Structure 1
């Protein structure tokens, strides 16, 4: 029995089994690589599901977190800190938020969505429109917005008033938004659904409809934000100004942090003192991490790199002309390699054996969300290995 197997046996006897049995026990990482406890190295092309924006062990993040840990990790929401104030200012700046905009700090994406739900309720309306295929989190409020039946059904009844419309369907969105709608909540690119891009026109329509109806437009940038799609936030590519965005994942580079950013004084005034809170949200450690991530993305030119590397990956995969590959979708370094057969899980397992971590997000799609620091050469090593990985899944059928 390997050390990995021994530890997984202990895992199964001590950790609640909501994730099933993980395939690996990882011990450490460096840059875009991680190692398991048996010493095997893997190119991490998932990045903690779009979390490890700077990879593993980036000096700027390590330095910022280490310094802050030596000064103060937690001070509660009875007080604030210079780091929290600075991170709020930086988020408002990179979001291009107008005067009067504000930030609420949480610890995760689901918590940011919960704050957005409260914001919506403060409009005096109870209707929320979300999209089919949406994933907004697993807390019960966020779960009401999430669409997948397997996630929802064991915990019904959920928050009432939520309706789901086909993602990207303009007519369905028109029909759903009305006088009882408090908010429309959309992901610019749906990650868990298989990296589906709603497109700029869809977001612009959502802005038009919500403005006309007096409803809020809340854009879930938890996976797409902080440079993942080649701009600070994906909504910036559509030329719209939302009423609020939710942020998490890449913001802390691995340190848990989330945020609700409200745009303009009218929206920011909907939640007042005592109506929401978080014990840990915006603590000095998380804030220092968020500042380090934003500063490093800016100083290292990682927005442009994410756009360039994502296009390079898409073109390289397309150039393989492999019969099992139907295309590459997504933006920046949030991509899905789409397959002509439901073999994504097998390909991901073969990739792991070959030293690559990818995510079979759908039966016919492999999600890649590598650190923004991934090099073109590192991506090329995966592309070079991909035909063999694909061929391995079809070999049994060909010889049967």
Structure 2
């Protein structure tokens, strides 16, 4: 803690433990304590720690060809772009690679300006990143207010409210950006017809529909992107987190006419789509397919949703696949998070009464069962003090 405070800025506060190693869904700290990792780098380590396929791919690539910049092509960036294109089911899809979700959303924002319009509609409590453009899209006043003035022309409306969206979207709207399932707000699932309604409103007004799949993407919900349940396609998909399996890798995928908006020189990223990160991305997708992980996500996710709902003190459990949010009866989420850590499980409390779970997609059923027991005891211990 002292070393952290002497050398790092205080934007994260000071961590209470130092993690030194990990294997699968188990991590170890510098004191030798082990933990079930049910946050996975905030939904990033989709194959857990030290997955053999990722280790092999990254090791081989860094020994073969390092960074080359986007002045030149290389095999991995071509193959991964083609793979993502295929995953969208749309041959018109074109990919821009970057390093994070915030960067992917910044790219989407810039793309929307190429429509000749600048007004944007986003949602209250959304999270799209912390860079100035992405922060302008984010609907959380506590994160926005200290850094005003932000970008103008962005209107925030309640998430899941189709009527509010219909009223907000006009012929002057460049884009609408939403998360298929809100992540940081506490894993909020919209009404089943919400995304379909947004598609119609955007089509009626000539606005781009952007799905921020940074947290829902790469199999976390049991589907590749997390919007598939809606039966519609967006104009833009933003990805990151799980795409690199722990390495920094993001993507902004534009479909249809949106895919031709950027011209040479309009946008760029020094490290975007570099050989090492894209090697990891290819290994992640191949492993998810080979190990039939999407089916596993459905099975373990269904177990957790059912079992966690039975725990006294939990008033609601929601989500899809292995993106799960819990609402607690009392505002003790931070205390429960601390108690779980003391008992050997890492989770996240995005609100006073809200818990977020996002374990590796290959977490075992036995580990899920162990987690339920730890969480149940932790909540009981906090609420019965």
Q: TM-score range by the shorter chain?
A: over 0.9
Q: Provide the C-alpha distance between the structure 1 equivalents of 2:308 and 2:157, rounded to a whole number of angstroms.
A: 32
Q: How does 1:28-43 map to 2 (within 5 A)?
A: 28-43=21-36
Deviations 1:8-57 (A, max 9, x none): 21011101110001121100100100000110000000000000000000
Q: TM-score, normalised to structure 1's length?
A: 0.95
Q: Which residue pairs with 1:57 in the alignment?
A: 50
Structure 1 residue 391 displacement after superposition:
1.6
Assess if the C-alpha contact under 8 Å between 1:188 and 1:199 holds in 2: no
Assess if the C-alpha contact under 8 Å between 1:188 and 1:197 holds in 2: yes
Q: How does 1:294-313 map to 2 (within 5 A)?
A: 294-313=285-304
Change (3 A) 1:199 1:69: farther
Check if 1:26 corresponds to 2:19: yes
Deviations 1:298-318 (A, max 9, x none): 111111111111111011122
Q: Provide the C-alpha distance between the structure 2 equivalents of 1:331 and 1:259, rounded to a whole number of angstroms.
A: 22
Check if 1:177 corresponds to 2:166: no
User: Where do 5+ consecutive residues of structure 1 fail to align?
Assistant: 1-7
Matched residues, number: 385
Q: Provide the C-alpha distance between the structure 1 equivalents of 2:334 and 2:7, rounded to a whole number of angstroms.
A: 26
Structure 1 residue 73 displacement after superposition:
2.0
Partner of 2:341, secondary structure, is: helix
Deviations 1:115-153 (A, max 9, x none): 000111111111100000110000000000001112111
Check if 1:155 corresponds to 2:147: yes
Q: Provide the C-alpha distance between the structure 2 equivalents of 1:191 and 1:152, rounded to a whole number of angstroms.
A: 17
Deviations 1:85-131 (A, max 9, x none): 000001111122x2222000001000000000011111111110000
Partner of 2:251, secondary structure, is: strand
Deviations 1:237-295 (A, max 9, x none): 1111100100000000100000000112x111111100000110000001100000000
1:102 aligned residue (94, 102, 110): 94
Q: Which residue pairs with 2:80 in the alignment?
A: 87
Q: Provide the C-alpha distance between the structure 2 equivalents of 1:388 and 1:256, rounded to a whole number of angstroms.
A: 35
Check if 1:188 corresponds to 2:185: no
Structure 1 residue 386 displacement after superposition:
2.4
Check if 1:263 corresponds to 2:255: yes
Assess if the C-alpha contact under 8 Å between 1:129 and 1:183 holds in 2: yes
Q: Provide the C-alpha distance between the structure 1 equivalents of 2:65 and 2:361, rounded to a whole number of angstroms.
A: 29
Check if 1:232 corresponds to 2:221: no
Partner of 1:292, secondary structure, is: helix
RMSD: 0.8
Q: Provide the C-alpha distance between the structure 1 equivalents of 2:66 and 2:30, rounded to a whole number of angstroms.
A: 29
